[in-house]
A and B are shown apart, each in its own frame.
Chain A
């Protein structure tokens, strides 16, 4: 057999500097790296980071999150705090979603940061902490370009950009996740954590706890001082929370119909063709955000492309970059996998708008053979249950 490497973000292993000196660029490691190794994780390069792909069976880790609770190391993601009296005005220009929607401290908002031509620089979560203090969580693989883009525009608003590299981040996800984490907090903080509404976060002692995630299940994402991360992970394990790697994270997010930056969207796509129209705040009309003019043009133009969900009944697995054929023209699978919950292949695909109606059928070329796939509206799974009955 031959191992076909899954496409993914690569990282240069060696970099030539000067005439003779060769500097080896070591992969980055999170504060949990040694623990991952001790737990027997298989590690892979992910956006320049050595990250656990699975500790044992990826499918068992997936089921643990759908049925009980799992913990993921997401410390590779980049936490950026923005301070300044003009920070809200700055973010209203920087992001396609509108932080004016954030009226209660702790509230979070998902959305995109766009180029002038509306190409997606990154997708990110914004937390409103205080009127003059917002927090962004951006992708690991886009960290450098994001920081450069943000810093390049922050100065005009007098906004200070502070990366929080001293924080580790754990995602604790699943129907039993919140209770498992709250049990590790002091009684008063535990009550505060359990009373957090969906998409809200709060600083509880040394931990920032947010009711957010990337799995389609309830749960928390927790930012803690790096030195506290290993102990927190072990305590969660001791309470029956399963260690989970990036493999399960990918199948969970795909079942939940959530985009992965670099696969389902990048700078060559805009949000309206990436299933993210709901994250673009065109109202109020007088708000000028970066990319607005280009997006309005795209919105008014006929045709175009849409990101849809695909379901395959046959015994084959859709993978990214496979061709999608329809009467309206060609498209492409942007993410595909085997869904452990549905026990069949699911995918996100970018197709001509005329082929995007749920219930329609398209052909997907899997290993050279065409298979019929049904178009569905993501998500495929939410809170442990199928939403796409086949």
Chain B
């Protein structure tokens, strides 16, 4: 039902990861996640330079309904955050895999070691709720 692009990898906690040619990764939350949260009203992003462990709570997405933590899908340091979300949190609802990206990380280890899911597996996880 929800959109799960095949070229991304996913965390069980509903974040997506896009590998960039330069070895960094872009991170956001999935279409399934934004749909379940409903209209977002505030997004709290981490400070640039912060070092994150895999699974560490590093951002908060707050919808009309509830606030939820976003977890770092891989270990790494924050090299950029999406400043546009401060004024337009709805970008995550409108374009979760594009304009609604949350942060860019420089992974501290090889991505292959990270516990990420392929699109098909994640779609099944999301479907199961």
- Which A residues have a C-beta under 8 Å from some C-beta of B? 1-6, 42, 53-54, 57-59, 247, 251, 315-317, 319, 337-338, 340, 367
Contacts and interface: CB of A to CB of B under 8 A. Distances in A.
Interface in B33-50: 33, 35-39, 41-42, 44
B66 A319 contact: yes
B64 A58 contact: yes
The 9 A-B residue pairs with the shortest CB-CB distance, nearest first, are A338-B41, A59-B39, A1-B68, A4-B66, A1-B70, A1-B14, A58-B39, A315-B42, A338-B64
Nearest to B33: A1
Interface in B15-45: 15, 29, 33, 35-39, 41-42, 44
Contacts of B97: none
Contacts of B61: 1
Which residue, B13, B42, B65, has most C-beta atoms of chain A within 10 A?
Answer: B65
Contacts of B68: 1-4
Contacts of B62: 316-317, 338
30 contacts: A1-B69, A1-B71, A2-B13, A2-B68, A3-B33, A3-B37, A3-B66, A3-B68, A6-B65, A42-B35, A42-B38, A53-B38, A54-B38, A58-B38, A58-B39, A59-B39, A59-B41, A59-B90, A247-B38, A247-B64, A251-B64, A315-B42, A315-B44, A317-B42, A317-B67, A319-B66, A319-B67, A338-B41, A338-B42, A340-B64
Contacts, number: 60
B93 interface: yes
A5 B63 CA distance: 12
Contact of B64 (A59, A316, A367): A59
B122 to A, nearest CB: 13
Contacts of B37: 3
B39 A57 contact: yes
Nearest to A3: B36
Contacts of B65: 6, 247
Bin the interface of chain B by size. 20 to 34
Nearest to B13: A1
Interface string B50-76: 000000000011101111111100000
A317 B66 CA distance: 8
B44 to A, nearest CB: 8
Contacts of A54: 38
Nearest to A44: B65
A4 B64 CA distance: 12
Which residue, A58, A59, A340, has most C-beta atoms of chain B within 10 A?
Answer: A59
B64 to A, nearest CB: 5
Contacts of B42: 315-317, 338
Nearest to B37: A3
A247 B29 CA distance: 22
A58 B64 CA distance: 8
Contacts of B44: 315
Contacts of A42: 35, 38
A58 B34 CA distance: 13
Which residue, B29, B38, B60, B93, has most C-beta atoms of chain A within 10 A?
Answer: B38
B29 A57 contact: no
Contacts of B71: 1
Contacts of A58: 38-39, 64
A3 B64 CA distance: 13
A322 to B, nearest CB: 11
B64 A1 contact: no
Contacts of B66: 3-6, 319
A156 B71 CA distance: 62
A315 B33 CA distance: 21
Nearest to B93: A57
Contacts of A2: 13, 68-69
B81 to A, nearest CB: 15
B36 to A, nearest CB: 6
